[in-house]
Amino acid sequence: MFEINPISVPKAATVLANALREQILDGRIAEGQTLPNERDLASRAGLSRSSVREALRMLETEGLVVTRPGRAGGAEVVRPDISMIQRSMETFIRGKGIRLESVLQAREAVEPQAARLAAQFWTDEDWAALSESHERLIQEQGDLPRFLKANFDWHQAVVKASQNELLIAFITSIAQPLYAATDLRGFNSMEVRHAVCVAHGKVMDALRARDADAAWRRMGRHVGAYHESVQQRSRDDEQAEQALLVAGEPPPESTQSGT
């Protein structure tokens, strides 16, 4: 018996958005160029102005155009930046309820490789940023908020020094959950802060010597040790909560900050 499956026909706005997107990404429409106005685009594409408007909204959401208001305004072509990826990743992490464990696993997979590349490719500017954040880390051990900020800045500087745009974009996109994860209850005693400074110092030595293998190994141990500590703390908290429930007492409210 003859059969035919349902045929999905894309919306006119989607077809136009796809056509414009391809021309922007392959460079036929250059960054900074202003697209024709809605009336002109509608006439050229044989579409309604509402379809054109919807297509431009799609491209603006993707970070490929920005709408300039006013008589001399219009849809100007731009290139996607890291902030767009960061917003998308933060929305994905929060919207999907991604566990801190998964974020730390991703970090553990990526940061050692970033350190390996940083050892090979850091510039004088990168080294200045690394040294500055490392010195702040050492000096601010007695001030937890400043210490955490210096720690965050140092890790970001290592990734930036890798010169790998994709690694930089990925780590930047999960930066906020990672920053929150450094402020977990019970993980920032003076002993822990000192250990962090020592671990960073060892990575810095490898970077200075441009020893890629040592940088990879030492960064792996550093982020791996933190991940293991978080896992152990989680196990301890679960056991303590179970003990309270067995005793008929409610568990205390968590004072954990962040994810």
Instruction: With cut-offs at 50, 70 and 90, classify the pLDDT of residue 1.
Output: low
Instruction: With cut-offs at 50, 70 and 90, classify the pLDDT of residue 251.
Output: very low
* 47 and 164 both lie in a single domain: no
Say yes or no to pLDDT of 254 above 50: no
Rounded average pLDDT over 195-208:
96
Say yes or no to pLDDT of 96 above 60: yes
* 90 and 207 both lie in a single domain: yes
CATH of the domain at 57: 1.10.10.10
Q: Report how many domains make up the chain.
A: 2
Rounded average pLDDT over 2-17:
86
Say yes or no to pLDDT of 237 above 80: no
Rounded average pLDDT over 8-25:
92
* 145 and 65 both lie in a single domain: no
Instruction: With cut-offs at 50, 70 and 90, classify the pLDDT of residue 5.
Output: confident
- What pLDDT is recorded for position 234? 65
* 70 and 89 both lie in a single domain: no
Averaged confidence pLDDT in the chain: 86
* 95 and 205 both lie in a single domain: yes
Give the separation between CA 144 and CA 151, rounded to whole angstroms: 10
- What pLDDT is recorded for position 186? 59
Classify residue 257: in a domain, yes or no. no
Classify residue 252: in a domain, yes or no. no
* 162 and 35 both lie in a single domain: no
Classify residue 258: in a domain, yes or no. no
Classify residue 5: in a domain, yes or no. no
Classify residue 50: in a domain, yes or no. yes
Tell me the pairing of strands 74-77 and 65-68. Answer: antiparallel
* 235 and 119 both lie in a single domain: yes
* 31 and 130 both lie in a single domain: no
Say yes or no to pLDDT of 24 above 70: yes
Q: Which domain, by its residues, includes 196? A: 83-246
Neighbours of 192 (CB within 10 A): 13
Classify residue 253: in a domain, yes or no. no
24: phi > 0 → left, psi -120 to 50 → alpha, else beta; which? alpha
Q: Hey, what's the torsion of the CAs at 50, 52, 53, 59, to 10 degrees?
A: 150
* 182 and 59 both lie in a single domain: no
Instruction: With cut-offs at 50, 70 and 90, classify the pLDDT of residue 238.
Output: low
* 174 and 61 both lie in a single domain: no
* 90 and 65 both lie in a single domain: no
Rounded average pLDDT over 124-137:
97
Q: Which of 77, 101, 125 is the last residue of a domain?
A: 77
CATH of the domain at 141: 1.20.120.530
Classify residue 68: in a domain, yes or no. yes
Rounded average pLDDT over 42-62:
94
